[in-house]
Chain A
């Protein structure tokens, strides 16, 4: 499941202080500062390598990176 893979990356690799359980699919990542600038940079690189997609710079907008659900939808669309 894409959501779980993203969740695991955020909790394991981005030094996120919160627990994995709190990081629900609709938890606001940007508003709650789960992702800082470097975290976003690393996450985009991870999405590209893990899911074999290329994230265009124009796609770096809150609608695609606001929540884990948003990110997963972006990946699904790009893989379709």
Chain B
């Protein structure tokens, strides 16, 4: 018989670092968000909310997000990871997931971190599409520092990357795909969903981001900002360089780095097994966040 008296949380304490990891569902009402809280053994010096990417990119980045959370927690920073509703282990249907629900999830995750860790000085970290969510959430927390990995600049660039991945996979497999990018977009509008390499892209999410861009979500209220680009994609390089310049002119303290190796966000090649690709962005991000928290603590 199913034991329904199970606790709502699962906890683990790392014997080496004393870091507590708590897995649970949270949020004001169902469907609830699933997440992990990483709590340091001592009073936290700050908190970081991690906003994951979506689809294949979510899987691609998962281990790095775990490593970042554990490293930060071992250094005294509380961290909240979570799955967007309709994705991963969270409740909810994929067709109900929109940019607004993703932002609500990020804000609920931030509140969960404030409640469980007792921190008020938060930073936000987002990868690819998660960068849009993290940027938007950060604007609700004053001058909260923001970390962006290979951020999506706008919905059309993101969809183009996804379509291109689909076409390239078909090319590699020798398949003839006759559907154009415009045809696939029409397919998405008509049918409400689109299968790309086994992932369901939904109209609800697509239509909800048409007016959104990284430029708008970050805004012009200066905050510490770390942007890490994976590789030298010329299209991303041009776009992000223009944005970085604009942020600098608006008074942002921007650290813009390239780690030289393009990430195979949509492909299952062996690139991620290279240790450098796994740890380099993690180490850079942890170092920057620790310095940023130290500076902010000195100012208080």
Q: Point out residues on A near B: beta carbons under 8 Å.
A: 30, 35-38, 40-42, 44-45, 48-49, 57-58, 60-62, 65
Complex Cα–Cα for A75 and B180 (A): 20
7 shortest interchain CB distances as A-B pairs: A49-B234, A37-B267, A60-B167, A38-B264, A38-B269, A40-B168, A57-B167
Complex Cα–Cα for A63 and B180 (A): 17
Q: Is the CB of B171 within 8 A of A61?
A: yes
27 contacts between A and B (CB under 8 A): A30-B172, A30-B174, A35-B172, A37-B168, A37-B169, A37-B172, A37-B266, A37-B267, A37-B269, A38-B264, A38-B267, A40-B171, A40-B172, A41-B164, A41-B267, A42-B231, A42-B262, A44-B168, A45-B235, A48-B235, A57-B167, A57-B180, A60-B168, A60-B171, A61-B171, A61-B176, A62-B171
Interface residues of B in 257-300 (CB under 8 A from A): 262, 264, 266-267, 269, 271
Q: Is the CB of A44 within 8 A of B164?
A: yes
Q: How far is the CB of A12 from chain B (nearest CB, A)?
A: 13
How many chain B residues sit at the interface, stated as a range, is 20 to 34
Q: Point out residues on B near A: beta carbons under 8 Å.
A: 160, 163-165, 167-172, 174, 176, 180-181, 231, 233-235, 262, 264, 266-267, 269, 271
Chain A residues positioned under 8 Å from B181 (CB to CB): 57-58
Q: Is the CB of B262 within 8 A of A38?
A: yes
Complex Cα–Cα for A42 and B164 (A): 11
Chain B residues positioned under 8 Å from A65 (CB to CB): 171
Complex Cα–Cα for A48 and B234 (A): 8
Select from chain B the residue with minimum beta-carbon distance to A55.
B164
Select from chain A the residue with minimum beta-carbon distance to B197.
A37
Q: How far is the CB of B173 from chain A (nearest CB, A)?
A: 9
